Amino acid sequence: MRLGDVRTARPGIRTRTYAYAAGLLCCGSWLFVGQPAVACGIDGIPSMAMNGRLVVINHDQATKENLPYYAPFRLGTARPDAELRFAEDAAKLHKALTNQAFATPFEWTFGDGAVGRGIASGHRFTRPGWYRVNVSYYYTPQKRWVVFDSAELRIVGARAQQ
């Protein structure tokens, strides 16, 4: 019996199995979780901050339940309607990204449909819940945005009374 062969219920018949399905499954799940964050994911140096506080490594694993907001880093918690200031550390990014990545202002997506632009962006979440904050650069040759940093954020508590 060779490596990769499996005996079936009927004696004398062997079916060759391949690791392609397992490899595709692993790669496919990686794509759904998101691409690794460049400044954070490639060199492990956090570069995103919220209100001046740097992200921390997320030690949780991606699951079916947290997949919509899972990210390799965490921003912490905040209250609904709080004015939050998100920023990337340009000095750290210049060590990890090419100059072309800085040609167009970065795009921030906050997981609630809102979008911001620039090295920093402000945002106000209105509902409690978990959100994934992504930062992307525009990749001109392919005319598409590429996520290079991602962190999850939990908005807790009730909205402030107006």
pLDDT at 107: 98
Total number of domains in the chain: 1
Is pLDDT at 113 greater than 50 in this prediction?
Answer: yes
Residue 15 forms part of a structural domain: no
CB neighbourhood size of 10 (10 A): 7
The per-residue DSSP string of 26-80 comes to HHHHHHHH-PPPIIIIIT----EEETTEEPEE--SPP-TTTTTT--SEEEEEE-T
pLDDT reading at 111 higher than 90 = yes
For residue 159, what pLDDT is reported?
A: 57
The pLDDT assigned to 136 comes to: 95
Least confident span in 23-37, 46-60, 66-80, 107-121 = 23-37
What is the pLDDT, as a whole number, of residue 22?
31
CATH number at residue 79: 2.60.40.10
What tokens appear for 80 in the block? 């609904």
Which has more pLDDT, 99 or 14?
99
Domain membership flag for residue 140: yes
- For residue 56, what are the domain limits? 36-155
- Does residue 28 form part of some domain? no
**160 lies in a domain?**
no
pLDDT in tens, 1-40: 444 443 444 444 443 333 333 332 333 333 333 443 345 5
Question: 74 lies in a domain?
Answer: yes
Task: Determine the pLDDT at residue 58.
Answer: 92
